[in-house]
Amino acid sequence: MSVPPPPPDERELADTIPGAVSHDVYAGGWRAGETPPGGLPPLSPPPPTRPSAWNAPAFGMLAIFLLALGALLWPQYRARAVENKIQPVVAGLSQRDTSARCPRYITAIFTNVGSVSLDASGNPGDRTDLTGPICDALRHLYTDEGRAELQCLVTDGRCPESARRSIVALSVVAHESMHLRGILDEAAAECSAIAEGPRTAKLAGLTPEQGRMIGYLHLMALNPNTPDEYAVSPGNCRAARELTDNPPGTEAQRGLLVMLTEQTWTTLGE
């Protein structure tokens, strides 16, 4: 009994039929071990995949780094924002290209609310250094809420604490700007700062009436609570004499504002 021949290999059969495509074309183009067309070497298995370096600990370290960077940069951003706002006021009052600097990582510079450094020849520098609370008050001043609050200066005098801090801050800026102008005597700087109340207000975006009240409060609430070398009076300061003879607002309004502002100044000046 004869044994039937085995069926032809499908790949061999496809190779003998014109136009036919062998099974290996669909499976990869050539048989394993054969040299592919063009003389290229046989394909090798893909290299092993390396594990990603971005695992949980790496992401944790990145988060810590970003938080630390933010902690360093955020005080810089906050300080510069206030400095840019108050710079035109300082430059306008000092009558030259000067600026203010707010602290970055501390809230106060000793016990002074502001200071100006002198060079070896006794000339003032080009900036005033302000404390954290003064800069915080200025930051609040340059908000819609801060400006709206200062309407109390020309209404009933019932200024909230934040508004009174803005009043004190502007008075400090005015005084330090007089030093930057070249007036080094403390009493003379106080007198000039009080006289510049309306101009200070205008440079800060307030009204002359608000500025006149700020000058009055500087005279009546702040100056009496400063060292003796700062003291001014109608006898040694023309601006003090004018504000005493012709004070702004009503007597009740002035009395309330002086009492409240004096409390705020005492707290900030400690």
What would the pLDDT profile of 244-255 be if each residue is shown by its tens digit? 999 999 999 999
Structure confidence at residue 58 (pLDDT): 67
Question: d(Cα 268, Cα 138) in Å, to the nearest integer?
Answer: 13
Across 205-227, average pLDDT: 96
Average pLDDT, whole number, for the chain?
83
More confident residue, 192 or 2: 192
Structure confidence at residue 57 (pLDDT): 72
Tell me the two tokens of residue 208.
Answer: 């002359």
Structure confidence at residue 76 (pLDDT): 74
pLDDT digits (tens, 9 = 90+) for 193-205: 999 999 999 999 9
Question: d(Cα 72, Cα 250) in Å, to the nearest integer?
Answer: 48
Q: Which residue ranges make up each domain of the chain?
A: 81-111+119-268
This model's pTM is above 0.85:
no
pLDDT digits (tens, 9 = 90+) for 71-114: 666 667 788 999 999 999 999 999 999 999 998 765 544 446 88
Residue with tokens 């200066």: 153
Structure confidence at residue 216 (pLDDT): 98
Structure confidence at residue 104 (pLDDT): 74
Question: d(Cα 160, Cα 173) in Å, to the nearest integer?
Answer: 20
Structure confidence at residue 267 (pLDDT): 86
CA distances from 16 to 8, 12, 22, 38 (A): 11, 6, 10, 22
Question: d(Cα 8, Cα 10) in Å, to the nearest integer?
Answer: 6
Rg (CA), the chain: 39
Structure confidence at residue 111 (pLDDT): 47
Backbone φ and ψ of 32, nearest 5° = -60, 135
Tell me the two tokens of residue 248.
Answer: 């702004």
Across 39-54, average pLDDT: 64
Across 224-229, average pLDDT: 95
The three-state secondary structure class of 105 is coil
Question: Which of 143, 211, 131 lies closest to 171 in space, CA to CA?
Answer: 211
Whether 64 shows a pLDDT value over 90: the answer reads no
Whether 25 shows a pLDDT value over 70: the answer reads no
Whether 230 shows a pLDDT value over 90: the answer reads yes
185 pLDDT band, cuts 50/70/90, is very high
- Give the lowest-confidence range in 57-61, 112-116, 132-136, 224-228: 57-61
Structure confidence at residue 143 (pLDDT): 95
Structure confidence at residue 75 (pLDDT): 65
